[in-house]
Amino acid sequence: MINQKREHRPSTQRGVIFHLGILLIILAASGYLLWLAIFQQIRGVFLLYLITSVLVFLPFPFFLYRLISLLRAKYTISRDGVSIQWGLRTEDIPITEIEWMRLPDDLAIKLPLPRIIFPGAVLGTREHRDLGIIEFIASDHKQLVLIATKDKIYAISPRNINAFENDFYRSAEMGSITPITKQSSQPQFIIASLMNDKAARAFLLSSAFLSLLLLVVTSFLIPTRTTVPLGLEAIGVNREESSSERLILLPLLSLFIFFVDFSFGSFLYRKEGFKNAAYIVFASALILPISFSALLLMISLSN
């Protein structure tokens, strides 16, 4: 094909190992603190361990998103332009907007790197004295390629730099009849769009509030009950009893599903023609906290 697209992936091995290690450490630490909380009889100590467990778990979605972004990252070259995808971050650059492509070694002044670098995540912006703003969307700071446009310079890290250069120059030499439309999408812009959308904002804020409220109510209910009834039986039949500490699984499951629905819904929201599907996903995040709240109300009213 004359306008064949060629995809190039960044190096992922070190980044995947690092992020998987961080995720396992977070899960182990948060799980251990939750286990300690479950077996505490004193409410104050129970709440302390529980809150600490939740705080330790908070970075989990961040590093999980970074891992998924790395695994899905790609740089696509065609005669019409270059497309960069990194998680929810996308950048479509028309070939007519690209002024030059160089390696950092070709610069007279050393390239400044982002202040915080993780293996597999070289992200952020820096200002170069001669070149201006440089945005890093890369996985390896030792394997960078610079693409200059009229507005800024992008630093990317294709796994095979020689192949990327050859594909770029070959596509540029062919010329373009219909350059791709310039488009930029960033996670913060997507979140801002969601917050400006009345329906999406209502669903997300309601589900987040109910899930957090469920966590608070459950943390106060657990120390007051030794066991709680589970299941629905006919009147007069003894109900199965279970340890009240197991109730903590309800708000934790609700929060986990909220993060899943938020991530998947955001992915659908940014795709053309899938906004209604995103609303359905956001609305589904209300099902668990409402159902679990009704269950807690029944348990609190039971003898």
Verify that 249 and 272 share a domain, yes or no: yes
The answer to whether 12 touches 118, Cβ cutoff 8 Å, is no
Which residue shows structure tokens 């050393």?
A: 110
Verify that 105 and 228 share a domain, yes or no: no
Closest C-alpha to 111, from 162, 155, 158: 155
Verify that 55 and 178 share a domain, yes or no: yes
Given 153, 185, 217, the domain boundary residue is 185
pTM > 0.85: no
Given 167, 185, 203, the domain boundary residue is 185
Which residue segment(s) compose the domain that 246 sits in?
187-303
Given 134, 162, 185, the domain boundary residue is 185
Verify that 75 and 94 share a domain, yes or no: yes
**Per-position pLDDT tens, the chain of length 303:** 455 788 999 999 999 999 999 999 999 998 898 888 777 666 567 778 877 888 898 888 889 889 988 998 999 998 888 999 998 788 899 988 888 998 998 888 889 999 889 999 999 899 888 888 999 999 999 999 999 998 889 999 999 999 999 988 888 888 777 778 887 777 666 777 778 888 888 888 898 888 888 888 887 777 776 666 655 444 445 455 666 666 777 887 888 888 888 878 887 887 778 888 888 988 988 888 888 888 777 777 765
Verify that 143 and 209 share a domain, yes or no: no
Burial of 248 (0-12, 13-18, 19+ CB in 10 A): buried
Number of domains in the chain: 2
Verify that 174 and 220 share a domain, yes or no: no
Verify that 48 and 95 share a domain, yes or no: yes
